[in-house]
Structure formats: structure tokens, C-alpha cells
A and B are shown apart, each in its own frame.
Chain A
Amino acid sequence: MSTMVANQKGFGAKIWDYLTTVDHKKIAILYLVAGGFFFLIGGLEALAIRWQLVEPMNDFVSSGFYNELITMHGTTMIFLAAMPLIFAFMNAVVPLQIGARDVAFPFLNSLGFWLFLFGGIMLNVGWFTGGAADAGWTAYAPLSTTSPGEGVDYYVLGLQISGAGTLIGGINFLVTIVNMRAPGMTYMRMPLFTWTAFVASALILFAFPALTVGLFLMMFDRLFDSGFFDPSMGGNSVIWQHLFWIFGHPEVYILVLPAFGIFSEIFSTFSKKRLFGYTAMVFATVLIAFFGFMVWAHHMFTVGLGPAANSIFAVATMAIAVPTGIKIFNWLFTLWGGSITINTPMLWGLGFIPTFTVGGFTGVMLAAAAADFQYHDTYFVVAHFHYVIVGGVVFGLIAGTHYWWPKMFGKVLNDKLGKVTFWLFFTGFHLTFFIQHFLGLMGMPRRYWVYLEDQGLNLGNMISTIGALLMGVGTIVLLYNIVVTSIKGEKVSGDPWDGRTLEWAIPSPPPHYNFKQTPLVRGLDPLWVEKSEGRKGITPAEPLDDIHMPNGSILPFIMSLGLFIAGFGFIYQKYDLSWLIVLFIGMGITLGAMLTRSLKDDLGHHIHKEDLEKEEAGE
């Protein structure tokens, strides 16, 4: 078997294998590891933030460093932790759920990952060259365009590179879901995680270009002296805000919709019921995405757009509560009448419902423009978005980690430790962020390096910091769980949860061709359909035959490396034009790799029928 072969290979060969892989399951692991790593970094930054705020006028870090911390915390968490972790599960699960052997563009899939990784590294290089980005994750001009040093340049180029990776990943999943579904897998039979992956990818496709342009303009302003955001040249800094939020608001739904999908799978599996109101769930997902594009200015209520714009955007924003509510109630009614097992993944799901609901409610409160004049840029907003992002996205990702870990690695994470993680993290979370609503209302703006004594903010901040530490402990337990399970955990079957969807119909971890024979899908929750008819496995749609697979390639890695190198050229040419050489070398490497790719036919290889048969007999 392929995994056996990999085991026999040396360490170097294994690394080479991962550098060149185009297998979506391995790319999923790469995303999981890299995203998890960045989550720890972002979490560490969060802890530093909280530690600075533990008491008034603290001097744990300097103001400049604090600003770098919040900027990098926000940017890292959103772009380098949450997004890639979502991509990890999309890669690990979506092709399996639709009964596909592969994604539509395996090569581009790998390119997407390496672009993200090199972009992420680029973003963090600033730490070592005299200061990371310090203009907030929103990088409002002119603060960002006038920020000295190279920190913001790294932000711009890092995001540009990793953003390209994300866009590529998004297109890959769109096409995979459109074209690669197994026979019988109609759109309205797709599992909800696949649906949300599809919709989130569409959001990526339409939202990221706005960010791309915004970043280009910012790069031109910072590195090539153009005047887009410079009032003294007639520029206008509000353009950046529009571009950023036209991207930024859909981005939050890009994050949360797949998390919704994960919970839909979990609720349905562990209450042993099909999803209540499937059609409405799909419809609500699409509706959220659609509205998501028309509300961006709710981040700009205080910019001075005028009452007409503010009112329109307020109402449009509130409208999103309706489809989201539909989802909440459908989940509750999925549980209703079910046979509910409360294990770790389910526990995260059950923690999610009240938490996200509160976060959504504060969102609607923020949407009331006249009240947002008070909330805006205070800790009330910080509380809101951590409730939805941590309570929605991070809970979802951790739930997904526990749920799909056996599928990805063949072992179940320890349930006891999982529950310990949950309670620590959950308690810590509410301690940290609930109180922040009040801090905000009591007059604490966000992005404050220090707060003054005697302003009634001390106790709240202290509680908040204690909560953050608890979350840290919870995270460490999770890490411990992963280590222990990897060393000692027992191998499990392909279907440890009595699952309902196709990914549970094949061994864990799946062979690299996923399905020996393409499955025939005969209804929603296809595996459940088969089980309820007394069959063990899924009905195949075709006789056993040769399987066509793509070849691995190092080119994606090289292309991304080239852009990474070029990034330095872009930045440092502002001091010394001889750095242009680096730019050209980098671009040359990338273009060369692209040319190689297009000139060399790559037709993939076949796994022969005979080998598959032998394998079967061997089992």
C-alpha cells in the first residue's frame, strides 16, 4: 500500500514526497500543520496582548511592539490560521464527500498551498528586520502608507502572495465540486460541508480580487510613490477602506460558512438524524453569501458616508440575521428527536450554538448604525468578532479536527482529553470575551496599548486576561492529545462514528486514489442510505478499472519560492535600486517554472487494475 511504501522510505524521501505532492489528502495535512502552527503563533501573540492589558499603564511591551502584536495577531489568525485550516478540511474531505478520486486541478492545489505558506512566512519576516506590520490588520491608509520601515511592505507582499494562493484554491474547489461529483451526486444531495465549501469558494473568487487591487494600490503608494491614498496628491484614503471591506466582510463569511458546514455534519451524525431542513440550509447558505457582499459599509458607519448610506447598509446587514437564524433553528431541530451522543466533536458543536448566537446578536446590535456610533472601534466590537470567530470558526475547526482526525490519520483523538480541552477553552473563552462587551461600553477603545488608571477598566481587563490564559492551557491539552494519540492511539476502522456521508465508506486513512471504484450515489447521506438497506459498503458505479492519477511536481514549490524572493526585491528597491536584480531573479524563477510547466506535457500515470486486485486480495 502507498502508506507502507512511504513508511519504508527515508526521512528525506518523505520530505521530498510532501514538497512535490499533488495528493489532496497530503496537501490537507500540510495545510493542517502550517495552519496549526500559525494558530499557535497567533495565540501566543494574543497572550502577549492580554498580558500587556492585565493592569492599567502596564509596560510589558512598548507601544510600537504592541501595535505589531495586534496587527500580526489579527492578520495571522485570519489569513494564516483560520483560512488554511479551513482549506485543510476542504482538501481532506470535499473530494471524498462527493466521491471523487481527486480534485480538478491537483497541480494548482499544491501551488495554492505553497503560495499561502511562502506568503505567510513573508508576512512574518518583518519581525526579524526591524519590525512587523503595525497598522492594524485592516491597514487603514494613511497610517499604513506612512508607517516607517518595511513592516507594512511585508504585510502587503505577504498577503498578496498568500491571497493568490487562496484564490487558486478557491477556483480549484469550485471546479472540483462542479465537475468531479460521482454519478448520482446531484447538487441537492451534496453534504452540507461540501455545499459550504462551494459557496465559500465562490466568495473567495469574488472577494479576493478587491483585496488584490487594494494591496496593489498600497504597494504602489508605499514602494513606488503613487498617490492613491495620499491626500496631498489628491488621493483618498477612504478608497482603501472600501476595497478592504468589500473583501473583508465576505471574508468573515468565507471563514464561518465552512465552520457551519462542519457543525451540520457533526449534528447530523451524532444525533443519528438527517439534517433538518436540508433545502433551507442550502438556501440559507447561498443567501448569507449573497447578502454578505452588500453590507461592507457597516464597518464604515463613522466614516461620514451620510445617513442614507448608513441606513441602507444597516438594514442590509440586519437582513443576514434571517438566514443565519434559519440555520440555528434547523440545527436545533436536527437534534430534536434525535439520539444524541455527546463526545468531543459534539461538545464543541453544542458549545458553538449559544456562543455564536450571542456573537450574532451583538453583530445585529452593531448593525444598528446609530448605536454603532458608540460601539465602533471599542472592545464591544472586539468581543463581537471573537464571539463569532472563535465561537464559530475556531470551535468549528477544533470540532472538525476531532471529527475528521480518524479519517485523516486513522486514529481517534482521546475523548477524555478532548473534553478537558473543551471545558478549559470554553470557560476561558467566555471569561475573556464576555466582559469585553462591557469594557467597550464603559469607554475602552480597541487597539489601546495601555488604559489609564481610575477609569473603571481594571477588573474587567484582569478577568479577560485570566480567561485567555485558560484558553492557552486548553490549547496545550489539545496539543498533548495529538501527541499522545499519534504515539499510542489505536487504529480505527474506516467508519468510527457510524457516519452518513461518503468519506466514511472508505478506509482511514484513504488510499491515494480514494475510491477503488467510483461510488454510485443514491440519495442524501449516501452511506446512510446503503446502511439502512442493510448493505455494508457503497454500491460502485463502474467495474474495477485502471485509475488515472496525476504526477507529483516540485514546480509549485519553486514558483512560490520565486515570488517569495521577488518580494524582497520589491521591498528593498525602495532603498537601493540594485535590489531590482533580486526582483528579476525571483520573477525569473517563477516565470521559468511556469514555462516549464506549460511546455512539458504532464499526462499523469495509471494505477493498473491488476495491482488494485492484488491489493484487495492482500487485505
Chain B
Amino acid sequence: MTENNTTDQLDYHKQKKKEEMKQQVITFVLMIVFTIIAFAMVQSDLDALFVIPIILVLAAIQVGFQLYYFMHMSHKGHELPALMFYGGVFTAFLCIIALAVLVWW
């Protein structure tokens, strides 16, 4: 690999990172918007049974943004981290079900 090539490559990567950074800013804006929506819905007079699922979904999407964009889980080389993390999410889900649903008295 010649000198030239590497600098080219570096430039290429710089460029890519820049684009990515743009994406991340967009993600950020979306997260802010979602948060505002969630707060607004709670402040409104909508029915709780309607609002709760929606704000939970909004939260889940936000978390997806964090994981995939901010924490780069969309990048290559994150297969195992993703596997293990979702293992945790699976167990986490069971814990929450157990405590929120099975302790009903």
C-alpha cells in the first residue's frame, strides 16, 4: 500500500464519518421530538390506556436510536455484542413480566 493510497483511504473514512455524524444529529432531533410528543400526550386528556402503549413504543424507538446510531450497533463487528445485549433484553423482559404481572396482589 502506498502513501497516497492510505491518505485517500483516510479521506474516505473521514468523509464517511462526517456523513454518519449528520445522521446522528438527525437521530438526536428525532429523539427530542419523540420526547416532546410523549410529554405532550401525557399532559393532554387522552385516555391512559391509549397513551401508555404509545409512550412505551416511543421509548423503545428512542432506545433503538441510542443503540444503533449512538452506540454504533448498526456497524460491522457488533454481531456478538448485539447477541449478548439482546440476551440481556430477553432476560430483562422476563424479569419485568415476572415482577409486574406475577406479583398481582
A binding-site residues for B, Cβ under 8 Å: 174, 178, 202, 205-207, 210, 236, 238-239, 242-243, 246, 293-294, 296-297, 305, 309
Contact = CB atoms under 8 A, between A and B. Distances in A.
B91 A202 contact: no
Contacts of A239: 99, 103
A293 B90 contact: yes
Contact of B102 (A206, A294, A305): A305
B17 to A, nearest CB: 25
Interface residues of B, number: 13
A296 B91 contact: no
Interface in B69-101: 80, 84, 87-88, 90-91, 94-95, 98-99
Interface string B3-28: 00000000000000000000000000
Across the A-B interface, the 9 shortest Cβ-Cβ residue pairs: A206-B91, A242-B98, A238-B103, A236-B103, A305-B102, A242-B99, A293-B91, A246-B95, A178-B80
Nearest to B89: A206
Interface in B51-72: none
Contact of A202 (B87, B98, B103, B105): B87
Contacts of A297: 98, 102
A309 B102 contact: yes
Contact of B94 (A174, A178, A202, A246): A246
Contacts of A305: 102
Given A246-B94, A294-B94, A205 B84 contact: yes
7 contacts: A174-B84, A205-B87, A206-B91, A210-B91, A236-B105, A242-B103, A294-B94
Nearest to B101: A309
A206 B83 CA distance: 12
A450 B48 CA distance: 55
A202, A242, A294: most-surrounded residue (chain B CB, <10 A) = A242
A236 B98 CA distance: 13
A93 to B, nearest CB: 22
Contacts, number: 39
A453 B80 CA distance: 60
Contacts of B91: 206-207, 210, 246, 293
B88 A206 contact: yes
Contacts of A178: 80
A231 to B, nearest CB: 11
A236 B102 CA distance: 12
A246 B92 CA distance: 10
A613 B80 CA distance: 38
Nearest to B81: A178
A13 B84 CA distance: 41
A207 B91 CA distance: 8
Nearest to B80: A178
A194 to B, nearest CB: 16
Given A178-B80, A293-B94, A294-B94, A242 B102 contact: yes
Given A210-B91, A296-B98, A305-B102, 11 more contacts: A178-B80, A205-B88, A206-B91, A239-B99, A242-B95, A242-B98, A242-B99, A293-B91, A294-B94, A297-B102, A309-B102
Contacts of B84: 174, 202, 205
Contacts of B90: 293
Contacts of A207: 91
B84 to A, nearest CB: 7
A207 B84 CA distance: 13
A239 B101 CA distance: 11
Nearest to A213: B95
A246 B87 CA distance: 14
B6 to A, nearest CB: 26
B73 to A, nearest CB: 16
A296 B91 CA distance: 12
Nearest to A175: B80
A50 B34 CA distance: 63
Nearest to A236: B103
Contacts of A242: 95, 98-99, 102-103
Contacts of B102: 238, 242, 297, 305, 309
A206 B89 CA distance: 9
A294 B97 CA distance: 11
B88, B102, B103: most-surrounded residue (chain A CB, <10 A) = B102
B99 to A, nearest CB: 6
A293 B94 CA distance: 8
Contacts of B95: 210, 242-243, 246
Contacts of B103: 236, 238-239, 242
A202 B95 CA distance: 17
A227 to B, nearest CB: 15
Contacts of A238: 102-103
A2 to B, nearest CB: 34
A24 to B, nearest CB: 22
Nearest to A171: B84
Contacts of A243: 95, 99
B88, B98, B103, B105: most-surrounded residue (chain A CB, <10 A) = B98
A322 B101 CA distance: 28
Contacts of B94: 246, 293-294
A202 B98 CA distance: 21
Nearest to A250: B91
Contacts of B98: 242, 246, 296-297
A243 B102 CA distance: 12
Contacts of A293: 90-91, 94
A236 B104 CA distance: 10
B85 to A, nearest CB: 11
B87 A206 contact: yes
A242 B98 CA distance: 7
Nearest to A289: B87
Contacts of A309: 102
A140 B98 CA distance: 17
A319 B94 CA distance: 18
A243 B98 CA distance: 9
